[in-house]
């Protein structure tokens, strides 16, 4: 695809404040929105660690009442969304705040929308989810991981408890109105969630650049995101209190979020989301482990763009053909997985017997249609067989 001649639409919506300490401005912003009562949607660990209070204090200082829905767990289901929507209606809050990783922010978006819409969340599944009632409480997001990019996206991923299947929802009504990207809120994130969410962000930047919906803007943002994330992921893995590295991760994952909000993800996420529903492993772990196998599969068709990705990943591509340079993107991804002590897919659940089912379910994932080449079940089987035979050296 020649991006110079293609027609594009690029969506830039919310107001964004970025930098260490910006979360302290949330009270003034909420008051400016006319809010009197806020509901913070978060997970119990952030209540215990004091991060929720860091956000609640400036809200109270501006005279707002604050309620907390702290039941979000990793890989949240439709049941949490409906419980949260009922809680929101009961409290009468006029502002919903998604505070946490992608799970909390995705839940917050769906809670705000489902409090105003009839029926069950599952009936709205899809890339163009149509919610009849577009009125909802104001929505603010604050990420406490550097990963999902959910803070900026008009997307949510929620597991259907009945099918153990991750549903994707895409709608402008899911997009927050205001975002605080504050690296201080990520400082206490433990090592494993740090690298799993960071690898999710890195993959999202790469996937958005390879997607059939890529634009010159998403490629530009994606390349810088890949550079920031790949340079700093090993640093925050070994030194979690390095604020400069955490800041670079925050901006990198935010940029990756902008990239996928317009360009979407591809078959890496289709596979990882499918396996997440089956194996209940962290999303970023599965994404990271799928990434090199999908890149290997795409190498023959996308080597020019992958060569640029390899350079952004820090590979020395001087003097190489684009194909040889592109191969280094896969080498670099595997190096980063090793540096951050990622296991193999077989160690987190992948079994030969499951491959036909995973391939079939991945075909139905919304990310499959954005893959740069048309995917078949046989293609997914080939990628999964490559993962099954993985011999990436471990540290
Ligand atoms: Fe993701």
pLDDT tens, residue by residue, 145-195:
998 889 998 889 899 999 888 888 988 889 999 999 999 999 989 999 999
pLDDT band at 392 (very low <50, low <70, confident <90, very high): low
Cα 287 to ligand 1 centre (Å): 7
User: What pLDDT is attached to residue 1?
Assistant: 63
Cα 122 to ligand 1 centre (Å): 20
DSSP string, 290-336: HHHHHHHHHHHHHHHHHHHHHHHTT---TT--HHHHHHHHHHHHHHH
Cα 58 to ligand 1 centre (Å): 30
User: What pLDDT is attached to residue 75?
Assistant: 79
Cα 138 to ligand 1 centre (Å): 24
CA distance 253 to 186: 12
Cα 200 to ligand 1 centre (Å): 5
pLDDT tens, residue by residue, 1-40:
666 667 776 667 789 999 999 999 999 999 999 999 999 9
How wide is the angle at C-alpha 51 spanned by C-alphas 29 and 25, nearest 5°?
20
User: What pLDDT is attached to residue 78?
Assistant: 94
Cα 265 to ligand 1 centre (Å): 8
User: What pLDDT is attached to residue 295?
Assistant: 96
pLDDT tens, residue by residue, 93-141:
999 999 999 999 999 999 999 999 999 999 998 877 788 877 778 999 9
pLDDT band at 395 (very low <50, low <70, confident <90, very high): very low
Cα 242 to ligand 1 centre (Å): 24
Cα 300 to ligand 1 centre (Å): 24
* Of residues 299, 305, 352, 350, the one with CA closest to residue 327: 299
How many angstroms separate the Cα of 221 from the Cα of each of 203, 208, 216?
A: 13, 10, 9
Cα 92 to ligand 1 centre (Å): 32
Cα 357 to ligand 1 centre (Å): 21
* Count of beta carbons in the 10 Å neighbourhood of residue 220: 13
Domains of the chain by start residue, with CATH: 15-186 (3.40.50.1970), 191-388 (1.20.1090.10)
pLDDT tens, residue by residue, 260-312:
988 989 999 999 999 998 898 999 999 999 999 999 999 988 789 999 999 99
SS3 category, 178: strand
How wide is the angle at C-alpha 181 spanned by C-alphas 199 and 24, nearest 5°?
145
Cα 193 to ligand 1 centre (Å): 13
Contact indicator for 74, 282 with CB cutoff of 8 Å: yes
319 Cβ neighbours under 8 A, 6+ residues apart: none
**16, β-bridge pairs:** 179
SS3 category, 222: helix
- Mean pLDDT, rounded, of the chain: 92
Cα 207 to ligand 1 centre (Å): 10
SS3 category, 209: helix
Cα 283 to ligand 1 centre (Å): 7
CA distance 37 to 327: 53
How wide is the angle at C-alpha 264 spanned by C-alphas 143 and 244, nearest 5°?
35
User: What pLDDT is attached to residue 111?
Assistant: 96
Cα 63 to ligand 1 centre (Å): 36
Give the DSSP H/E element, type plus range, for residue 117.
none
Cα 91 to ligand 1 centre (Å): 31
How wide is the angle at C-alpha 369 spanned by C-alphas 121 and 262, nearest 5°?
75
Cα 11 to ligand 1 centre (Å): 19
CA distance 289 to 388: 11
Q: For the chain, report the end-to-end CA distance as a whole number of angstroms.
A: 39
pLDDT band at 394 (very low <50, low <70, confident <90, very high): very low
Cα 276 to ligand 1 centre (Å): 11
User: What pLDDT is attached to residue 11?
Assistant: 67
Cα 101 to ligand 1 centre (Å): 11
Cα 61 to ligand 1 centre (Å): 35
Sheet holding 95-100, edge to edge: 15-18, 178-181, 138-143, 95-100, 37-41, 65-69
- pTM, 2 dp: 0.90
β-bridge pairing 155-160 and 165-170? antiparallel
Cα 321 to ligand 1 centre (Å): 31
């Amino acid at each position: 695809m020649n991006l110079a001649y293609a027609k594009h639409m690029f969506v830039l919506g919310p107001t964004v404040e970025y930098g260490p300490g910006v979360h302290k401005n949330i009270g003034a912003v909420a008051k400016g929105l006319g809010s009197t009562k806020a509901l913070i949607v978060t997970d119990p660990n952030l209540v215990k660690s004091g991060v929720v209070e860091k956000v609640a204090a400036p809200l109270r200082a501006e005279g707002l009442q604050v309620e907390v829905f702290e039941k979000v767990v990793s890989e949240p289901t439709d049941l949490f969304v409906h419980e949260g929507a009922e809680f929101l209606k009961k409290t009468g809050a006029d502002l919903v705040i998604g505070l946490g990783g992608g799970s909390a922010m995705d839940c917050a978006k769906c809670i705000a929308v489902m409090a105003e819409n009839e029926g069950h969340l599952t009936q709205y599944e899809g890339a163009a989810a149509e919610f009849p009632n577009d009125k909802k409480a104001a929505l603010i997001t604050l990420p406490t991981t550097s990963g999902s990019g959910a803070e900026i996206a008009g997307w949510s991923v929620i597991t259907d408890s009945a099918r153990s299947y991750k549903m994707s929802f895409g709608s402008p009504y899911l997009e927050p109105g205001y975002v605080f990207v504050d690296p201080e809120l990520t400082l206490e994130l433990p090592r494993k969630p740090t690298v799993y969410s960071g690898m999710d962000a890195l993959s999202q930047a790469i996937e958005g650049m390879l997607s059939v919906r890529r634009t010159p803007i998403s490629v530009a943002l994606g390349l810088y995101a890949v550079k920031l994330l790949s340079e700093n992921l090993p640093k925050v893995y070994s030194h979690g209190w390095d604020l400069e590295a955490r800041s670079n991760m925050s901006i990198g994952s935010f940029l990756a979020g902008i990239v996928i909000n317009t360009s979407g993800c591809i078959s890496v996420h289709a596979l990882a989301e499918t396996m997440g529903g089956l194996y209940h492993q962290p999303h970023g772990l599965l994404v990271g482990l799928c990434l090199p196998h999908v890149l290997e599969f795409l190498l023959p068709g996308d080597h020019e763009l992958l060569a640029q990705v390899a350079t952004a990943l820090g590979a020395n591509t001087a003097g190489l053909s684009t194909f040889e340079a592109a191969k280094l993107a896969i080498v670099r991804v595997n190096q980063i997985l090793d540096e951050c002590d990622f296991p193999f897919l077989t160690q987190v659940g992948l079994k030969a017997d499951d491959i036909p089912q995973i391939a079939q379910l991945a075909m139905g994932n919304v990310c499959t249609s954005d893959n740069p080449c048309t995917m078949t079940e046989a293609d997914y089987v080939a990628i999964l067989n490559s993962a099954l035979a993985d011999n990436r050296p471990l540290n």
